Amino acid sequence: MAPAVAFLGLACVVCMMVANFPLLVGTTTGAWVIGGLVTLSAVAGAAQALVLRARRPAVYERL
């Protein structure tokens, strides 16, 4: 029960942050820049994981 309540609480916080992100950052341009950087880092991390899985499966398996 507690994990479900925690998930719902965190989901509400994330929804509020996304809805009010320009207000949190200060400008709409800043929101796009920060959102782009977060997206870029997620894509780079996924690409690095795929390369690691293909080239060094033993190291990837330990992760």
- Distance, in Å, from the CA atom of 22 to the CA atom of 34, rounded to the nearest integer, reads 10
- Residue 43 tokens read as 């894509």
Q: Helix-strand-coil percent breakdown of the chain, rounded to 5?
A: 90, 0, 10
Q: Which domain holds residue 24?
A: 2-62
Between residues 55 and 27, the one the model is more confident about: 55
Using a cut of 0.85, tell me whether the model's pTM lies above it: no
Residue keyed to tokens 């994990």: 3
Q: What is the pLDDT of residue 28?
A: 82
**Mean pLDDT in the chain?**
90
pLDDT at 45 over 90: yes
What's the number of domains the chain is made of? 1
- Residue 46 tokens read as 């996924």
DSSP string, 21-51: HHHHHSSHHHHHHHHHHHHHHHHHHHHHHHH
